[in-house]
Structure 1
């Protein structure tokens, strides 16, 4: 989903002597990214109705009579992603100029995204696929990642989260990267965005909502605060940012995702379980920040992290196509279809990473980083 990479930032000269800032790749964070993506996939395959019911031929409630209720909580993987994104964008933006920051983000996001858009458009254009492709003009607009504000039909259902990510990048770049990252500046960024987002929600002003994202700001800010904790675990201000972000984040998650049980509802999401999942998401990233998961230094976690973004992009719509082919076409059992669909999307993600991202990302970064003539 996100442009989450684990490159290391330049050392911050504003750190205090008791810093716990550590070098090296945070492999556990890569594992958390894939776990969050799998949560979202579980939701899209068995935790909701709509188009996925067309893929299965019946509602996932009938395919997974017990599990569908738990699958419905998988949508909270997005909130976990946003916490991770706040951590990683602060880490990768520290010590970088605006041009380098822009080149890094664009090169990380665009190659796999363009490939995913092309794949979904091509597959949906096949006569044997029942899903309707978007209009050619809208498909072209999707290549810009700006289809959401323009009101164009989306090729990728998950692209709404990328639009939130882009707005976060813009805010962070303007407030932190342009003037130069420092602990004080990052703290002020968090301390400014948090109340501004609350005011935006109270004001009910669409422009403020668009810019400040009150329902998602606590997760991004919480991740940024956890990166400050990673640099200095005794930073009281950083812990305060994390605590306030968690309190606001769980409130927004419950407000947006809780619904009472009823005959028309696909499932019932308990407010207690929503709060628990949000808490576990913050706690997991905090464990990485504090070095509690440094023992998870396995190479395969780096591979898992590399697969996360392309998997997130392709898993939903192409996964529905695979579900229909395996379950309705080959009559495979629901559990087998579910497992094979996830495996096939991971394989496709690996191919995109190897054949598209690996060659294209460094070239695009170099092109965007080259000085103007």
Structure 2
């Protein structure tokens, strides 16, 4: 992801100051490869949850419950769903970084070209695989598949081709809010702080108001993670910024509350796995602390080139791993008799290989062309 942050005004001592020329732009930042690595860690967390930390369709794929396949690990795998919250914190950081100093048309072109090529391919690929007679999963109707290509199937109430695409709908709403409130008027420290404070308050009011429209717009359950990531980018720009640290702290406190409320299921005797409140809070804290360590430069030593490749594979891997993973698990474990541990490892490896092929033959040729075409038309 290309990063072009612009400079905010430097801090000045109190008292009258002479008016001088505007400060020079900050130098272009180098790629944070540790952030790429954290993306892949979050994606693998979600994959572990989908393959061994839940019930539902994965039971059909294994031929029995994942709890039987992984008697000890299934409880730990059940925490993998929190990889989504880690993704949201990363997204808040990256979107603030990439949108700072960028005009609206460039921001829109960058986001659309980043999301759509791999997404379109994944929708068509999963649809084609599920339509095969040998695959024991029901494919969607052609009409529903076409709606899925718009990425608006969630609000339109259409069945999803990709199980993970609900997170993309949350991402898109965040992009729109950030574009309207920060990118369009021009990013500055003060404007970003007001955006974070305003969204936090709006999300709290939304929770109290019980209005579906406000829920859709302000996403109280996910807002703290996006906002926390934005606050961590402000920390990255100035680690002494008390307001930025306050945004991060409040976001963590609210975010862990929503995570515990939605994922703690101790009262359900039929739950697949019982997560503890402490475990949930610790995973949420891991997401915030990991991005904070990157923001503060504590992980700058993790500068290996292969992490850039890992970051490039994360998005296509995330798109295809769930549903196509079911197919691979069934073929390896049920049809060929590969042990559960081997099936798990081979499925992960196979999805990573498919992600590499998508990045090489779909994203690399199409993303720059789509970005250029959208920026030119706008």
Q: Quick check: TM above 0.5?
A: yes
Secondary structure at the counterpart of residue 13 of structure 1? coil
Does residue 89 of the first structure (1) align with residue 84 of the second (2)? no
Does residue 186 of the first structure (1) align with residue 181 of the second (2)? no
Does residue 73 of the first structure (1) align with residue 68 of the second (2)? no
Cα deviation, 1:343-370, whole Å, max 9, x if unaligned, reads 0000000000000000000000010011
**208, 217, 224: which one aligns with 2:223:** 217
TM-score scaled to structure 1, two decimals? 0.96
**148, 157, 167: which one aligns with 1:161:** 167
Task: Determine the C-alpha separation between the residues in 2 that align with 1:263 and 1:313.
Answer: 32
**315, 331, 345: which one aligns with 2:337:** 331
**298, 303, 306: which one aligns with 1:300:** 306
CA contact (8 A) 1:47 1:74 kept: yes
Match of 1:63 in 2: 69
Tell me how far 1:8 sits from its aligned partner: 2.0
After the TM superposition, list the runs of 4 or more consecutive aligned residues in structure 1 that deviate by more than 4 angstroms. Answer: none
CA contact (8 A) 1:218 1:249 kept: yes
Task: Determine the C-alpha separation between the residues in 2 that align with 1:198 and 1:61.
Answer: 37
Task: Determine the C-alpha separation between the residues in 2 that align with 1:10 and 1:342.
Answer: 35
The size of the alignment, in residue pairs, is 367
Match of 1:274 in 2: 280
Cα deviation, 1:142-192, whole Å, max 9, x if unaligned, reads 000000000001000000000000000000000001100111100000010
Q: Any gaps of 5 or more consecutive residues in structure 1?
A: none
Does residue 143 of the first structure (1) align with residue 138 of the second (2)? no
Does residue 8 of the first structure (1) align with residue 3 of the second (2)? yes
Q: CA RMSD in A?
A: 1.5
CA contact (8 A) 2:233 2:295 kept: yes
Where does 1:231-246 land on structure 2 (aligned, <5 Å)?
Answer: 231-246=237-252
Task: Determine the C-alpha separation between the residues in 2 that align with 1:70 and 1:255.
Answer: 18
Tell me how far 1:219 sits from its aligned partner: 0.1
Secondary structure at the counterpart of residue 314 of structure 2? helix
Task: Determine the C-alpha separation between the residues in 1 that align with 2:113 and 2:364.
Answer: 11
Specify whether residues 205 and 262 from structure 1 end up closer, same or farther in structure 2 by C-alpha distance, changes over 3 A only.
closer
Task: Determine the C-alpha separation between the residues in 2 that align with 1:62 and 1:137.
Answer: 38
Considering only CA atoms, is the larger Rg found in Structure 1 or Structure 2? 2
CA contact (8 A) 1:112 1:352 kept: yes
Tell me how far 1:14 sits from its aligned partner: 1.6
Task: Determine the C-alpha separation between the residues in 2 that align with 1:280 and 1:71.
Answer: 16
Secondary structure at the counterpart of residue 370 of structure 1? helix
Secondary structure at the counterpart of residue 215 of structure 1? coil
Q: Any gaps of 5 or more consecutive residues in structure 2?
A: 14-25
Cα deviation, 1:73-96, whole Å, max 9, x if unaligned, reads 000000000000000000000111
Task: Determine the C-alpha separation between the residues in 2 that align with 1:242 and 1:149.
Answer: 29
Secondary structure at the counterpart of residue 131 of structure 1? coil
Cα deviation, 1:89-109, whole Å, max 9, x if unaligned, reads 000001111110000000000
CA contact (8 A) 2:4 2:28 kept: no
